[in-house]
Amino acid sequence: MPEIVNNMHIVPLDYYIIFCSALFAIGVIGVLVKRNALVIFMSIELMLNSANLLLAAFSAYRNDPAGQIFVFFIMVVAAAEVAVGLALLVMIYRSTHTIDIESLNKLKW
């Protein structure tokens, strides 16, 4: 695998910055637009992934492996968050029979 990758040319780092910012903005728009709690979780995953990719890009371009180690820990936190969050979602659906976040406003002022 390294021999294949070594024969390719370089992409400017700005492209990664623009691409990851666009992915992050799409995730933010998803959190703001959607009412389905499951799709909101997916948008949060999108945001985490864009941050991961940008960390990996900076670490590769600056030759510093700490960024790629950090991506591992973000993956750990994302996996734990999704496990607990989906368990909460199943629990909410079991007691209210909906995952529409507009109907879950009992604690809102």
Site for other proteins in 50-79 (CB under 8 A): 52-53, 56-57, 59-66, 68-69, 71-73, 75-79
Cβ neighbours for 63, distance < 8 A, ≥ 6 positions apart:
none
Angle between helices 66-96 and 37-62 (to 10 degrees): 180
DSSP 100: B
Q: By C-beta, is 10 or 107 nearer to other proteins? A: 10
Our finding on whether 104 is near other proteins (CB under 8 A) is no
Please count the residues of this chain forming the interface with other proteins, following the rule CB under 8 A.
Answer: 76
Our finding on whether 30 is near other proteins (CB under 8 A) is yes
CB of 62 to other proteins, least distance (A): 5
Nearest to 86 by CA among 48, 41, 27: 41
Site for other proteins in 7-26 (CB under 8 A): 8-11, 13-15, 17-19, 21-26
CA 17/CA 54 separation, integer angstroms: 7
Our finding on whether 105 is near other proteins (CB under 8 A) is no
